[in-house]
Amino acid sequence: MRQPAGRPIAIALHGGCGVMSRNDLPAADWALAEEVMRTALRRGWDLLAEGAAAVDAVEAAVVVLEDSPHFNAGHGAALNREGVHELDAAIMDGSTGAAGAVCSARTIRNPVQAARAVLRHGEALLLAGSAADRFAASVGLPPAPQEYFTTERRLAALRTMQARRSAGTQATASEQEKHGTVGAVALDSAGHLAAATSTGGYTDKPAGRVGDSPLIGAGTFARDGVCAVSCTGAGEFFIRHVAAYGIAARVQHLGETVAVAAQYMIETELSPHRIGAGLVALDAQGQVSAPFNTEGMFRGWITPDGTIFTATHR
């Protein structure tokens, strides 16, 4: 990818930590997931190259991931304990601090678009449940029936987790069985940063459970001149540590690089909880950090020099 003339641009994304073992899927499936990530990156990069805002780029990239059954967001999202999809998403514009989010939505085809609409509307920051669904419909976003979000893979995961719960072995479930998230961060040609995150939560979650993804400062955060962050993992702990903002605070107030701050959050702050955790972060110069502590994390980026990279495992 060629860097356009002018100030640097960059985009990075994740598709969730705790991916399956390489042996659990054919090589072609892993390759297809990476191709979806490359499509999402190119979608965002093309907008940035045309001079679009970072917030436009992260929204566009996340929509691609929401539309793919390979990731736990939108089509292919996890099912809760009642066999229902409840979807969460957030987006933040680092240039203004404005943000929008939805949680526990059930009929929004692309939750990140609803989050962006909440940001634009400006009256509220976070809308929940049926109110979020009604708001999305009122601004013309396409609705979708519950069946649209369901895939056989997610049904199988729900059956497995319910069996584990009955047997009292939930703690031994793999990260892939439990949860997943998608997110993107971007730097535009005006030097502005943005972040967006979307998820179906974790498989067999209690009805009404909301994780870190739609909570600004916990799973999603962006501030110009500092960094943009999107997190993935056991959301309750990201909330308790205000993880996304915590990384930005270390960069801004301690002068740490985004790589050092992000690594500290995963390897030091969150490590006592022994949870699966990962994130993608981008600083004001377009430097990417994507630490994780699981066997793998779907991730990819295009750096200011135009280099494109995607991976699923270590």
What tokens were used for 93?
Answer: 């514009």
Instruction: Report d(CA 153, CA 78) in Å as an integer.
Output: 9
For the residues 284-312, what does the mean pLDDT come to?
94
User: Does 311 have pLDDT greater than 60?
Assistant: yes
Active site residue 181: yes
Residue type, 189: S
**Chain segment 27-51, per-residue pLDDT in tens:** 777 888 899 999 999 999 999 999 9
Residue type, 260: V
For the residues 167-187, what does the mean pLDDT come to?
77
For the residues 174-198, what does the mean pLDDT come to?
88
**Chain segment 276-288, per-residue pLDDT in tens:** 999 999 999 999 9
pLDDT number for residue 5: 56
Entry pTM: 0.94
Domain limits, the chain:
10-313
pLDDT number for residue 9: 97
Looking at the structure, give the CATH architecture of the domain made up of residues 10-313: 4-Layer Sandwich (3.60)
Contact 106, 84 (CB under 8 A): yes
Instruction: Report d(CA 57, CA 189) in Å as an integer.
Output: 12
For the residues 146-161, what does the mean pLDDT come to?
93
CA-CA distances (angstroms) from residue 281 to 68, 183, 202, 285?
22, 10, 22, 12
Beta bridge partners of 232: 278
CA-CA distances (angstroms) from residue 161 to 91, 158, 176, 304?
30, 5, 11, 42
**Nearest-CA neighbor of 94 among 14, 184, 4?**
184
Task: Give the model's confidence band at 22: pLDDT under 50 very low, under 70 low, under 90 confident, else very high.
Answer: low
Instruction: Report d(CA 38, CA 46) in Å as an integer.
Output: 12
Sign of the alpha-carbon dihedral angle for 94, 95, 98, 104: negative
pLDDT number for residue 24: 64
In degrees, to the nearest 5, what angle opens at C-alpha 202 toward C-alphas 274 and 79? 160
User: Does 6 have pLDDT greater than 70?
Assistant: no
Contact 38, 308 (CB under 8 A): yes
For the residues 154-169, what does the mean pLDDT come to?
86
How do beta strands 99-105 and 126-128 pair? parallel
**Chain segment 54-113, per-residue pLDDT in tens:** 999 999 999 999 999 999 999 999 999 999 999 999 999 999 999 999 999 999 999 999
Instruction: Report d(CA 16, CA 279) in Å as an integer.
Output: 8
User: Does 218 have pLDDT greater than 60?
Assistant: yes
**Nearest-CA neighbor of 284 among 7, 98, 41?**
7
Instruction: Report d(CA 104, CA 91) in Å as an integer.
Output: 16
Instruction: Report d(CA 130, CA 114) in Å as an integer.
Output: 13
Catalytic residue among 181, 220, 310, 312: 181
User: Does 163 have pLDDT greater than 80?
Assistant: yes
Instruction: Report d(CA 299, CA 98) in Å as an integer.
Output: 26
Average pLDDT, rounded, for the chain: 93
pLDDT number for residue 180: 81
**Chain segment 190-204, per-residue pLDDT in tens:** 999 999 999 999 999
User: Does 11 have pLDDT greater than 70?
Assistant: yes
In degrees, to the nearest 5, what angle opens at C-alpha 150 toward C-alphas 13 and 279? 20
